[in-house]
Amino acid sequence: MIRLEYGCALSEIELDSVIPLLKEAHSKLLMKRDSKEVGFIDLPFEPVEEIRKLAEEKRKHTDALVLVGIGGSSLGAECLIHALDKAENFYVLDNVDPYKVASVLDRIDPKRTCFNVVSKSGGTTETIVNFMAVLEVLKRSMPWDEAKRNIVITTDPEKGLLREIAQREGIASLPVPPNVGGRFSVLSPVGLFPAAYMGVDLDALLMGAKKAVDWCMCESLEKNPAWLIAALHYLHAIRGKNIAVMMPYCERLSLFVSWWRQLWAESLGKDGKGQTPVKAMGTVDQHSQIQLYNDGPKDKLITFIVVEDFGRDVKLHNHLGIADFHYLNGKTLSQVMYASYLGTASALAKNKVPFITVKLDRIDEAHLGALFMVYEFATAISGYLYDINPFDQPGVEEGKRLTHGLLGREGYEKKREEALSLASTCSKCLIERRL
C-alpha cells in the first residue's frame, strides 16, 4: 500500500484551483504517449524475457557486476539494488575519479565479472572513458574473444558509437527505447538488466509499476497520487518555495532520493524555473538540517517517506539501568523511527513548514516499481504545469562542449579558447596559502 498525507498551509479551494491545469497537463502527456514521443508509461508492459535470459547466461560464468554508466544510466539500477539489499559484488563506475576507478578495478577479478556498459547516446564521455579503463584490465587478463563474453552493452537500438562497437565486435547488447530519456529509463533494460543480474524480481517490480500507471491515469485529485504530488509542489513553488526536500526515514531509500533528485532537477530546472531538490535522511538530518528547516527561511516543501515494516527489527532493553531511559525498555527501533518522524513533522507543522508524507507498507520490488512510476508521472505533469518541456536538458550541452574543447577533441578548438578565457575571469580574486 502507498498512502499520501498532506495537511498544512494550503486550503482545499487552493488545491482544487489547479485541477483545470492538471487536466490540461494530463492530456498533453497522453498525447505525447499516443504519438510515441514519450515512452516511459509503456515500459512496465514490455516483455522482459530477453533481459532475464541474458542476465542468467552472464550469471553462469561471472559472479560480480560492474555497471559502467552515469546519471540516468546508473541511478535507477543502483537505487533498486541497494534498496533491496542485493548490492554484494555490485559496483558502479559512474564518476571518473581516478582513485575510485583504480580501487574498484583492483578489487574485482575481471575473469569473473560482468561489465554492463550503459549510455543511451553511446557517447557519454565518462562512460566511454571508464569503458576504456575496463578494457585495459580485461584485455590484460584474457584473450579478447573470451573477454567480450563478459560485456553487455545497453544503448540505442540503432545509432551511436556503443551500438557500432556492439555490432562490430559481436558483443551482447540491449536496446534503450529512443523515446525514453535516461532519467525515465529505470524500468527499461537500463535498470532491468543490472537488477535481474543482482536477483531483483522483475515481475513484481513491473507489477507495482503497472498498478501505478492505473492510479496515475485517474483524472482525479482524490485518487491520483501523481496529480497530488505535482499540484502540491506547483502551488508551493509559485508561492516562493524554491526548495523541495525529500527525507525518508529509511536508510535503504537513500538512493531513491538520488534518483528522484536527478528526475526533478533535470526535468523541471529550465527557463529560469525549477525547485532545487535536496536530499535528506531521517533521523540523521534531525541532527544536521532540522534547525534550518524549522527556524530558517520558509522556502521549502518537505516530503517524508516512512516505512511500516522494515523487514528486520531490534528490541531495546535498558541495560544501562538509568531511570531516565526506562521509557525505552521494550520499545523497538521501528517505533523509535516512527516517533522521531512524527515528532519532527509535528514540530514543522507548528512552525508552518509544509510537508507531504508518503507511507509505504514495506520496501520491496512492487513498492519501488510503484514509487518510480508515480514520481515519473508527477514530474512529467509538473513540467506541463510550469509550461516547460520535462523531457529535454538543453542546459547541459554547453558544459560538455567546453569540456570536449579542453580535452582537445577535434572540431572543438574554439570551445577550448572560450573555456580558458571564461575560466581566467573566474579567478580574479584569489587567496593562496601554503601548508
Q: Which of residues 359-388 bind its own copies (CB under 8 A)?
A: 361, 366-367, 370
Distance CA 118, CA 176 (A): 9
Q: Does 238 bind its own copies (CB under 8 A)?
A: no
Considering only the stretches 1-9, 40-48, 57-65, 184-192, report the one whose residues sit in contact with its own copies under the rule CB under 8 A.
1-9
Cα atoms in the Cβ-side hemisphere of radius 13 Å centred on 411: 1
Question: Under rule CB under 8 A, which residues in 180-199 are in contact with its own copies?
Answer: 182
Residue 5 as a binder of its own copies (CB under 8 A): the answer is yes
Residues 6+ apart with CB under 8 A from 88: none
149: contact with its own copies by CB under 8 A: no
Shortest separation between residue 113's beta carbon and its own copies, angstroms:
17
Of these residues, 287, 350, 352, 428, which one is catalytic? Answer: 287
Which position among 325, 387, 413, 414 is part of the footprint of its own copies (CB under 8 A)? 325
Stretch that binds its own copies, among 22-30, 37-45, 148-156, 264-272 (CB under 8 A): 264-272
Q: Is 99 in the site for its own copies (CB under 8 A)?
A: yes
Q: Which residues pair with 154 in a beta bridge?
A: 118, 174
Q: According to the binding rule CB under 8 A, does residue 102 interact with its own copies? A: yes
Closest CA relative to residue 377, chosen from 3, 28, 10? 28
Q: What is the DSSP string of 279-338?
A: E--TTGGGGTTHHHHHHS-S-EEEEEEEEEE-S---B---TT--GGGGGGTT-BHHHHHH
Would residue 241 show up in a list of annotated catalytic residues for this protein? no
Residues in the chain: 435
Which listed residue (266, 300, 365, 415) is catalytic?
Answer: 266
The helix (run of H) or strand (run of E) holding residue 133 is helix 125-141
Is position 121 an interface residue for its own copies (rule: CB under 8 A)? Answer: no
Closer CB to its own copies, 55 or 92, in the complex: 92
All residues at 6 or more sequence positions from 33 whose CB lies less than 8 Å from its CB, including other chains: 39, 41, 42
> What part of residues 62-81 is at the interface with its own copies (CB under 8 A)?
70-72, 75
Our measurement of the distance from residue 68's CA atom to the centroid of its chain's CA atoms, rounded to an integer in Å, reads: 16
Cβ nearer to its own copies, comparing 30 with 320: 320
Place of cell 518537505: 302
Give the three cell numbers for residue 67.
555497471
Stretch that binds its own copies, among 5-13, 23-31, 48-56, 172-180 (CB under 8 A): 5-13
Q: Is 140 in the site for its own copies (CB under 8 A)?
A: no
C-alpha cell of residue 361 = 507498507
Residue by residue, DSSP assigns 328-363 as: GTT-BHHHHHHHHHHHHHHHHHHTT--EEEEEEEE-
* Residue 246 found at the interface with its own copies (CB under 8 A): no
User: Which is closer to its own copies, CB of 55 or CB of 368?
Assistant: 368
Stretch that binds its own copies, among 26-34, 56-64, 96-104, 194-202 (CB under 8 A): 96-104
Angle between helices 397-406 and 413-425 (to 10 degrees): 100
Closer to its own copies by CB, 111 or 223: give it. Answer: 223
Mask: binding to its own copies, 395-414, rule CB under 8 A, as x and -? xx-xxxxxxxxxxxxx----
* Dist. CA 155–CA 298, nearest whole Å: 43
324 in contact with its own copies (CB under 8 A): yes
- DSSP class of residue 67 equals E
CB of 275 to its own copies, least distance (A): 8
The stretch near its own copies (CB under 8 A) out of 27-35, 39-47, 56-64, 130-138 is 130-138
Residue 51 in the binding site for its own copies (CB under 8 A): no
Mind giving me the DSSP string for 377-406? HHHHHHHHHTTS-TT--GGGHHHHHHHHHH
Catalytic residue check, 266: yes
Which residues are catalytic, by number? Answer: 266, 287, 400
